[in-house]
Amino acid sequence: MKRCSAIRLALFGALALLPSCGREGSSDAGPAVPSAQPQGVARLNPSATNASEMIQIPGGKFIMGDKDEVDAPPHEAVVRAFSMDRNLVTQDQFQKVMGTNPSRWKGGKNPVEQLRWSDAVRFCNKRSELEGLEPCYDLKTLECNFEANGYRLPTEAEWEYACRAGTRTAYFFGDSPARLGDYAWFEKNSGGHPRPVGQKQPNPWGLYDMAGNLWEWCNDFYKVDYYLEAARENPRGPKEGQNKVLRGGAWRFSAANCRSGYRYNESPGYADVCFGYDIYGFRCVRNSRKTGSP
């Protein structure tokens, strides 16, 4: 199972010298807040919450997985149509919706980072409320209502389908990583930190930073052999688990980690910034009835 344990072991000695660093092992991100829109809270125009910057993704089938990874045997999956943020959620957007910016690497157009899966979920709900949409998440159980019309995190299948954009190669631009620098910020070109969104070339469906910059939280729990039992149509991950799936690679990871089918995972309540929590970000999706090409 690919975990962050290797990083933690490598930094164990350094951690002992940093008494201010701590780990929150619980998946509980704090007191639950009501999912209904509070009275007196003004709705924002959808353009203010990035709704105008979404790409319509048509429903369809594809080959999901990576033949070189033990936890990702290739198999056919089918997903229904949905809309996906063109870019990672930025710090400006997160600040506007949530009133705070937890990021280490400050910059309005930089992707928001240093946040937990549960923080991303709370943003999805708040963004929905501000646009008068039905929130997808029950913040007491953190379960997702996939029929709600609000924002949520993509399923792992939705994320990979959108990333591949009709391709079947290791990367959405081919099998060789030689051109990765044209599309992604990773260990060889990032300069040691995340970069503003949308600076590299997009994938064939117009989505930016689907490879590199930050790992992206998905809705699914992670299970190493889940693909062997996954539903063919609209798979939504195991019903329970310890970790959540992340996809896409990040600014201080290798080219191999940026492959379209590569899987990563982390605890949804892990909040120790000393272990590089600035490598995790997210983008939102919504259900869509449109079936045309992006």
Does the domain at 53-287 match CATH 3.90.1580.10? Answer given as yes
| Selection from 283, 216, 294, 289 nearest residue 49 by Cα | 283
| Selection from 156, 155, 173 nearest residue 164 by Cα | 173
Count of beta carbons in the 10 Å neighbourhood of residue 65 = 20
pLDDT band at 142 (very low <50, low <70, confident <90, very high): very high
Per-residue pLDDT tens digits for 55-77 = 999 999 999 999 999 999 999 99
pTM above 0.95, yes or no: no
C-beta separation of 154 from 245 below 8 A? no
Per-residue pLDDT tens digits for 178-198 = 999 999 999 999 999 999 999
What per-residue confidence (pLDDT) applies to 45? 56
What per-residue confidence (pLDDT) applies to 191? 98
Task: Give the domain ranges of the chain.
Answer: 53-287
C-beta separation of 160 from 247 below 8 A? yes
**Total length of the chain:** 294
3-state secondary structure of 215: strand
